[in-house]
Structure 1
């Protein structure tokens, strides 16, 4: 048993079964849907039970009903949160509003539009009930949840439709255009950048187009190592279908369980294993996108010199350039061996330097991650109570580090992933071991890596648990060149602390480096503080705004993989230049001059 099997128990554990990696059994598969459809439709007055078969997350938070977080088996977490965020986890969680208390606006969809949509997708796949429309109103950002839990529903979609194929999508887009309505594509609903909710002042009918029925791997070109996949497939279902044929896509974002291929492409997503497999922009070789009156289709060729890349224009367009229906993606044979090893470093600076040298080495890793001392301390605080021999081994390891002169408050935990045949994995681990040793680190073992694999999808549950108890917690991510990472890290920490002081709260901000590239890496920050007023989003905006502004001021990007949406749009011109922002606005206006396709996302033209 690794000494860290109990010393760093990952992040947290939902109450019921484990979340999954692409290579494990999904923890939430088979759990109850966000709503009981028959009961829902009876309550809402729909003509009959919803038959789309698409499961959604709970309307008031992350994940399925019955899946949640609990701190009571983690004895160090409560005192940790009290000390650093001034919130007592033993405080009973505030219950979500009863759904019937929500002031859900009436649907504004005219009958003529409903009839046209019914002809497009089938009457049983057109829904105007309150629950369906609320589920499709917001994503899962902290702002979204605070507004929803407060009953802030000034505008909801007027109708939700579930097409089964591209022809149905084309018919929906054309019907929406003919009715002068607005169309918002919907995948898994996991957006944390505010890119799903309709404009507050939108007077036209709003159609939410849910792609959840379009969830199939259509073909695999084994010679080219490419797969053609419908855009509405969720991460676990995609990997199940590919895995049954011996393949994997290898894309594992934190939202993996509840996000779709089309959503990944539309938001320019990145996954934990991007060191090997690349970001979604690297994996996407071609796609089909429905626009009013036409379909844009690119070819899955390995490279091309055909002017500015239409494929690249569509990746990250967040619904502004149409509805993604199919994607050709790169796939890989399932690896013979897969391991994630844990390491300790005496400081974050040493860990960052090691990640930089690993990226420049001959080792082909799948992931490289190092947490700063604060995130490492949080990981230690979330461990379950140590039992048996493991607790003595953990204490012994810490005693050894102390004798070596390490400051135990500065220890940083790192994970590095390896895949391939046994000889390749062994060789890569040897290269990494030498780099780690050169930077003063030590190998900890496999146990923590297995726990990391199991628990990497848990963070949103912890955020919701804190929100229930009066704490606002969120994440922000950026990327910068290797030479700027540590100055950026220091600047963000400093600006966040200033923001906490302005709000008048005890706040906590922590960070890890991940997604290493040739020229730099991602820094992923998590912050939390106690709500102190009846206007929590005002307080939140002070802190979130300070973090985001610090990114662009220190030479980073406004987002590495959480997209722009509405919540990050104000920093776009500082990131890509005012002229770059104007070019995007002109592109969107050329394709969609009447602003019917998810208006306001990326380039903000609407009230949020």
Structure 2
């Protein structure tokens, strides 16, 4: 049986965030965004109160889907349709709390193998229906929702039954895995044979291998294992032209990379059914250490020097001063983190280390391998940290990091219930641009807060270090009524941050994909010629726009405000379609 997240929010129904054991959090939130979180939160809507449109499913199409997947795996159940209608972006959750469900899929299909996927797609194309592949439903870029104006039948193809590790080639260190495997199940199957994929995105507990590939995901340990584009060595994809199969060779010279075309394709080219991925032996030792740096600039220099050194950590993450203060505010009473901000530690940092505690930054750096390797790596990193005025504060913060690393989305749901908008935007840029981009984005966000008349909070961390640069991950929050009208203010802040990325040589997204949320900046990021290439690719394989239409290339409205907010220079499908094509 395929299980799903709660229809109105993130994660399991039985799990939620509570501030009751975090004594510093309520004062922190009150001080910085003017919100009282000690009151009872607003409850999500009752499902029975939603207005669910009847499905549009012609009988011949329904019969063909039943023939393909089996009657028990084809459903028009109202809650299944709502669960599959959208992802978990802030926009999605605000809308669902206000009974605005958009264009629901008409039917959800759970194929059990690749042949069933082929039959489902063939039936959909014959009926001129829309097909939207669905993994775990964690997407926050609007990649799962059908256009509101869509009048054709919409089919959500849930890959959850395709969840097995099929084969491991120990010599090549490759595994064949079905695309619907969720993170925990995938790691459990690999670990049973002594292997790991090493891919742990924030959404790990509820996202799938196919979803990672379709959105070019990155994981918390990508410094060592690579992001999903590096991990994925071959794919199988059901397309309108047949089953696309690439070979898991180390490298090849066969024209433009077809494998790369599938990475980040968000269902526009077909349905991913299987991938061959790199795997690694479970490391003998794993250690994540905490470090303090006196300033954000010192921390950035240290991360850059670590990337340029012989050190090879698995995790390099550092929070700016604002995120560091927030992290300490979320610590539990009597927890490991409490000792890090004890009176004695503060006195030592101020008097001996000459830290300004308001500027101090917390970092996590991880190491894996044999004990000798870990020891050598720690020594290399320790010397760099010391040169930049940092100090190691032991394994306690690392244990805290491991405990909390998948919990952040639950905090957002809690804040929504209290009357606060909280969201994230991430980018990557070169080491030389990290400082200017960070300062420019923070300035833009604060200007946007003032423009909409709120007291806002923005914080950031660096993660995913590369040879030439790194990812910067921003989180912002402010008090606001959780209404449809309030989305306009959210768009003002989100757009300011995204525009800051473009103006300071960053990409529109490092690992959250394009979807519709980020599509308006696509031409700025990859140039109008790049958009033309993508449009030609999508139109070439899917001239009827049956495969997840409106994603990546801008121009088709999905949620209110997205298409309208595109600037006059944005390159929509009509402006980039090849001569003689028929844009729809």
Quickly name the TM-score band, shorter chain normalised: over 0.9
Q: 1:40-55 to 2 correspondence within 5 Å? A: 53-55=1-3
Separation in 2, partners of 1:92, 1:440: 44
Q: Does the CA contact (< 8 Å) of 2:331 and 2:337 recur in 1?
A: no
Instruction: Say if 2:339 is the partner of 1:339.
Output: no
| Structure 1 position 104, deviation (Å) | 1.1
1:431 — aligned with what?
380
User: CA, structure 1 residues 284+170, in 2 after alignment: closer, same or farther (shift >3 Å)?
Assistant: same
1:229 — aligned with what?
177
1:510 — aligned with what?
459
Separation in 2, partners of 1:244, 1:391: 37
Give the one of 508, 512, 523 matched to 1:558: 508
Q: 1:158-237 to 2 correspondence within 5 Å? A: 158-237=106-185
List gaps (5 residues or longer) in structure 1: 1-52
List gaps (5 residues or longer) in structure 2: 559-584
Instruction: Say if 2:288 is the partner of 1:288.
Output: no
Give the one of 407, 412, 415 matched to 2:361: 412
1:20 — aligned with what?
none
Q: Deviations over 1:28-76 (max 9, x none)?
A: xxxxxxxxxxxxxxxxxxxxxxxxx001000000001110000011010
Instruction: Say if 2:43 is the partner of 1:99.
Output: no
| Structure 1 position 91, deviation (Å) | 2.2
Instruction: Say if 2:527 is the partner of 1:577.
Output: yes
2:442 — aligned with what?
493
User: CA, structure 1 residues 393+551, in 2 after alignment: closer, same or farther (shift >3 Å)?
Assistant: closer
Q: 1:144-543 to 2 correspondence within 5 Å? A: 144-386=92-334, 391=339, 394-404=342-352, 405-532=354-481, 534=483, 535-543=485-493
User: CA, structure 1 residues 387+500, in 2 after alignment: closer, same or farther (shift >3 Å)?
Assistant: closer
Separation in 2, partners of 1:252, 1:391: 28
Give the one of 94, 108, 111 matched to 2:56: 108
User: CA, structure 1 residues 319+419, in 2 after alignment: closer, same or farther (shift >3 Å)?
Assistant: same
| Structure 1 position 605, deviation (Å) | 3.5
User: CA, structure 1 residues 342+114, in 2 after alignment: closer, same or farther (shift >3 Å)?
Assistant: same
Q: Does the CA contact (< 8 Å) of 1:105 and 1:154 recur in 2?
A: no
Q: 1:97-136 to 2 correspondence within 5 Å? A: 97-136=45-84
Separation in 1, partners of 2:537, 2:279: 31
| Structure 1 position 394, deviation (Å) | 2.8
Separation in 1, partners of 2:151, 2:213: 29
Give the one of 586, 589, 598 matched to 2:548: 598
Q: Deviations over 1:505-561 (max 9, x none)?
A: 000000000000000000000000111584111110000000000000111000000
SS at match of 1:410: coil
Separation in 2, partners of 1:174, 1:321: 14
| Structure 1 position 393, deviation (Å) | 8.1
| Structure 1 position 370, deviation (Å) | 0.5
Separation in 2, partners of 1:119, 1:533: 43
Separation in 2, partners of 1:388, 1:549: 39
| Higher RCO by CA contacts (8 Å cutoff, separation 6 or greater) | 1
Separation in 2, partners of 1:596, 1:215: 25
Q: Deviations over 1:157-212 (max 9, x none)?
A: 00000001100000000000011100000000000000001110000000000000
Q: Does the CA contact (< 8 Å) of 2:299 and 2:388 recur in 1?
A: yes
User: CA, structure 1 residues 232+132, in 2 after alignment: closer, same or farther (shift >3 Å)?
Assistant: same
Separation in 1, partners of 2:192, 2:245: 28
SS at match of 2:342: helix
SS at match of 2:115: helix
Q: Deviations over 1:443-482 (max 9, x none)?
A: 0000110110111111100000000011000000000000
Q: Does the CA contact (< 8 Å) of 1:105 and 1:153 recur in 2?
A: no
TM (normalized to structure 1)?
0.90
Separation in 1, partners of 2:5, 2:162: 18
Instruction: Say if 2:9 is the partner of 1:58.
Output: no
| Structure 1 position 395, deviation (Å) | 2.2
Separation in 1, partners of 2:340, 2:130: 61
Separation in 1, partners of 2:109, 2:339: 53
| Structure 1 position 235, deviation (Å) | 0.2
Separation in 1, partners of 2:28, 2:471: 27
| Structure 1 position 389, deviation (Å) | 12
SS at match of 1:250: coil
Instruction: Say if 2:85 is the partner of 1:137.
Output: yes
1:548 — aligned with what?
498
Separation in 1, partners of 2:120, 2:446: 48
| Structure 1 position 153, deviation (Å) | 2.0
Q: Does the CA contact (< 8 Å) of 1:186 and 1:208 recur in 2?
A: yes
SS at match of 1:408: coil
Q: Does the CA contact (< 8 Å) of 1:569 and 1:603 recur in 2?
A: yes
Q: How many residues align?
A: 556
SS at match of 1:529: strand
Separation in 2, partners of 1:576, 1:70: 42
Moved over 2 A (4+): 386-395
